[in-house]
Amino acid sequence: MATATENYRYTRLHIRYFDLDVPAVAQGRVVYFPIRAVCKAIGLAPQMQIERIRGDSRFRGGYRDLPIPTVKGLRPMVCIKKTLVSAWLGTADPAHVRLLRTREKLEQFQAELFAAADRFLWGKEEGGEPKVVEGTMVINGACPHCGGKLCVINGPDGVHFQALPGDPDEEE
């Protein structure tokens, strides 16, 4: 269980297409979803899913008990990281998900859930569009031509690749 000194932000994400609200909690820049609440929203058996996640080594380190607001106050719930929701929902048989009877609807739910989580985490610009985050993202690997480290720059001039600034391997 998380300690009382940790800071959390809570929200209910509205998934417009499915007209659902799903709770979410952010700790820093990581969004978690209470597994039981997501299961209830889409029609899965929550205890079976929690046992499946706990028993699958792919999810180790990707779920944890977090305090979630309820009508009775904060209660610990098993929550899964946003980054692992795809793997988890990929194990679900759409025929057994009451709300989402097809793989396409399951994937659409996931995409809309992620977009809502990103709006929660990064905010919105005027008009409801998600903010575009400018900055540098280092790519784990090297350029196949020169061997130098690469990064993706998202700046005022658009998105482009370049050698990692300050990289000692970069040619002068």
Q: What is the pLDDT of residue 108?
A: 85
Do 31 and 66 fall into the same domain? Answer: yes
Q: What is the pLDDT of residue 155?
A: 57
Mean pLDDT value of segment 1-20: 77
Query: In this prediction, what percent of the chain has a pLDDT beyond 90?
Result: 25
- Structural domain contains residue 1: no
Average pLDDT of the chain is 77
pLDDT category of residue 17 using cuts at 50, 70 and 90? confident
- Structural domain contains residue 26: yes
The dihedral through the CA atoms of 48, 54, 59, 61 has a sign that is positive
CA 64 – CA 43 distance, rounded (Å): 22
DSSP per position, 65-116: EEEEEETTEEEEEEEEEHHHHHHHHHTS-GGG-SS--SHHHHHHHHHHHHHH
Q: What is the pLDDT of residue 160?
A: 61
Which of 122, 144, 164 terminates a domain? The answer is: 122
Do 145 and 171 fall into the same domain? Answer: yes
Do 148 and 118 fall into the same domain? Answer: no
CA 38 – CA 137 distance, rounded (Å): 31
Number of domains in the chain: 2
Do 96 and 19 fall into the same domain? Answer: yes
Is the model more confident about 141 or about 52?
52
CA 21 – CA 44 distance, rounded (Å): 15
Task: Tell me the per-residue pLDDT of 87-142, one tens digit each, with 9 for 90 and over.
Answer: 898 888 777 787 777 778 888 888 888 888 888 877 764 455 544 444 555 555 56
Do 53 and 88 fall into the same domain? Answer: yes
Mean pLDDT value of segment 145-154: 65
Do 106 and 154 fall into the same domain? Answer: no
- Structural domain boundaries, residue 142: 132-172
